[in-house]
Chain A
Amino acid sequence: MIDFELSPRIKGTQKMLRIFAEQALRPVARQYDEEEHERPLELINLVHGFMKGGLGGGGLTGGAPKKETEEGGEKKKKKPSERQLMTAVTIEEIFWGDAGIALAFPGQGLGGAAVQATGTPEQKERFLARFAGDTPVWGAMAITEPEAGSDTANIRTTAVKDGDEWVLNGEKIFVTAGKSALEDSDGFVVVWATVDPKAGRAGIKPFIVEHGAPGMQITKIEDKLGIRCSDTVSISFMDCRIPEDNILGSAEVVDKTQTKGFKGVMATFDATRPMVAAMAIGVGGAALDSLKQALAEEGLEVRYNISPNRMTAIERDITEMEADLKAARLLTWRAVWMLDNGRRNSLEASMAKAKAGLAVTHITQKCVELMGPLGYSRKLLLEKWMRDAKINDIFEGTGQIQTLIAARNVLGFGRDKLK
């Protein structure tokens, strides 16, 4: 049955988070934007307290779906899960509060998502248990290199087996929460490196590099356009040694068409892309809510039910933005609903992120425009949201990459046929 009603549990969380966002995040949002690289320690500890209690489940950036136990095993009809939906709703609310601070919150993050998508049960246990501990911990993911962004097959960081260890060499950039994971806590970063540069995609494997690993160093903390509270770092690996069982999944390089390791990256993204869409929607909602409130205070009422050809320019802008935001949210819910129900969602996940990233980039820019000089002023948060929103059209794959993935899915073309 088609149903858009959130369960009471999710609704309750949503309500609580809205209050948290209004009372705890908004008042300090400007401060942590201006004081870039300062960490909101009090908030971090507070959030760790209730994250530990199981809120969201997957951490702020969600997690990959649990693998189905056995193929074709339809014996146990469980109550459908709503874990991913809970995460998406959680993310939207917190990002409505503040995107930069939200990204600085502790949790499994993308690193955890990669472990969930590609790790063995033993590895999940070993690496994820720390998130339920007494102190806040971060998980991060390192894919991008100076010469390889979305072109992940071009990854040059190498992993060579030496005795019972892997030796990593290379440089990773744009690692979200990398400093939090590796310097500020007992966390880890999932590093994608090649075990066989000649094997292309098939040789690329995920490795867990933990806090304190020898030969690993954070070399740069980026100054950014927005999401300034969140640390984005470069990490260099110089003969960085990690235990042999820190490779997630199998070390075997299968033939080029059977790129299991690389499929792990894709499965990770299928789970995290809708979450990035939810982040975007949170920020877009903040901007639109704030614009509508300002207009209402000026006595302007939006006439939703009249014909578009009779609407004022501002009414058209607002109705279009509302529809775009809602469409993006529903596409996101659909993508996470599929995850919760164990369905493949590559197409729907990329659709949700493409729609949300673009819509919210546009919405936040439009809201600043419509508020005139007030929108441009740092007295309000609108200009900050416009800067923050832009990241959603970039990280985890730019809008163009999302559209490319959606196009490949729609056309049934592989990367050979649609470059």
Chain B
Amino acid sequence: MVSFEPSEEQAMVKETIAGFATDQMEPAMRECDESGGVSPDLVKTGWDLEIISSAVPEQYGGFGEGPSALTGVIAYEEMAHGDLSTAMHIISPTLMAYTILLGGTEEQKAEFLPLFCGDEFKAAGAALVEPRYSFCASALSTTAVRDGAEYVLKGQKCLVPLAAESDNLLVFATANPGAGFAGVDAFLVPRGADNLGVSEREKNMGLKALATYEVSLNDVRVPLAGKVGGGSGIDYLDLVSRSRLALAAMAVGVMRRAAEHSRDYAKERIAFGEPIGSRQAIAFMIAEMFIEVDASRMLLWEAAWKCDRGDEYAKDAALAKNYAAEKCMKVCDGAVQVMGGHGYVRDNPPELWFRNSRAFSALEGIIMV
């Protein structure tokens, strides 16, 4: 029966994370952006929310029953509502952790999952995106070729979060570049592996507090045991779709914050003797922002709900992600516009949201529900 009411547990998760996001993430947002990093204390506090351990089963060190996409998207919206860069930093280990949890062999689960359930933040970079304009998750150019008891990985990756801080990287590569989603596998590669290069930190328009790197793989040799899922491999389309849900959730969080900011400003800022929100030109922009926030969230929730039920949901996830990415950009553009010159200066947050929001069209992978 149709319902739009989150469960009690989801409501609790939302409230807890909203508290952290409002009280700690958002106040640190500008400092993180200017300094280009997230303070270890903030990361630790975020890690203590136990997002990953609450999804990992007890036998691997957690206390959960696998990730719930719906609970995940509710949680991520709140985190990104606080600050996108910090949220992505804290959440970035999910792509490796959940990939192993959902598709790893027993040995891989036993070896890696407990690492993500400890008290200390465990950095783990996922290398999916490649630095070319025609990049698409369904057409990777990084290859994995079997050579005896090893795979040989070759290619170039970018936007790999926390690569330099991670002990292991999760590298996506294809055995068959023409095969679309079907040919792709994930490999666990130690950061110190021969022929693996991690660049200096990337310099991006936004997401400045999130350390990302280019990673070059020049015939990196990985033992057979390093392929996630062993012989049967992974359900790559499912992983990409789950990451699209995660990204869409964060886009909703960012645009919601920008819409709220615009609303509050429009009520206070006086021009021509009345609040600028009393003018339809501004008021309509703000109404449309809120409509698109809700529209994006509805698409997202439905896709996540299908994912949790085990229904086909890849198409829904793609629609939701592309929609949210576009609307996030539009709303954040509006948030700058509503403030005019004040929106353009770095004393105020809209310019930061504006830069961050465009990231969603460039990102695949990175994080996951």
Contacts and interface: CB of A to CB of B under 8 A. Distances in A.
Interface of A: 1-7, 80, 82, 85, 303-310, 319-320, 322-324, 326-328, 330-331, 333-334, 337-338, 348, 351, 354-355, 400, 403-404, 406-408, 410-413, 417-419
Interface residues of B, number: 53
Contact of A307 (B6, B137, B320): B137
B5 A2 contact: yes
Interface in B172-203: 181
Contacts of A1: 3, 5-7
Interface in B243-269: 263, 266-267
B152 interface: no
15 contacts: A3-B305, A5-B1, A6-B1, A304-B314, A305-B181, A305-B237, A305-B318, A327-B298, A328-B295, A330-B299, A331-B294, A354-B287, A404-B280, A410-B287, A419-B280
Given A1-B5, A351-B294, 6 more contacts: A1-B6, A85-B2, A303-B138, A407-B277, A417-B274, A418-B283
Contacts of A418: 277-278, 280, 283
A323 B320 contact: yes
Contacts of A6: 1-2
Nearest to A80: B1
Chain B contact surface mostly: helix
A411 B135 contact: no
Interface of B: 1-7, 10, 70, 133-139, 181, 237, 240-241, 263, 266-267, 274-275, 277-278, 280, 283-284, 286-288, 290-291, 294-296, 298-299, 301-302, 305-306, 314-315, 318-320, 322-323, 361, 364
Contacts of A419: 278, 280
Closest 3 CB pairs of A and B: A330-B298, A407-B287, A327-B295
A410 B1 contact: no
Contacts of B290: 351, 406, 410
Contact of A310 (B7, B136, B240): B136
B212 to A, nearest CB: 18
A3 B2 contact: yes
Contacts of A320: 322-323
A309 B361 contact: yes
Nearest to A327: B295
B2 A411 contact: no
B291 A406 contact: yes
A334 B266 CA distance: 27
A229 B10 CA distance: 48
A4 B319 contact: no
A82 B3 CA distance: 10
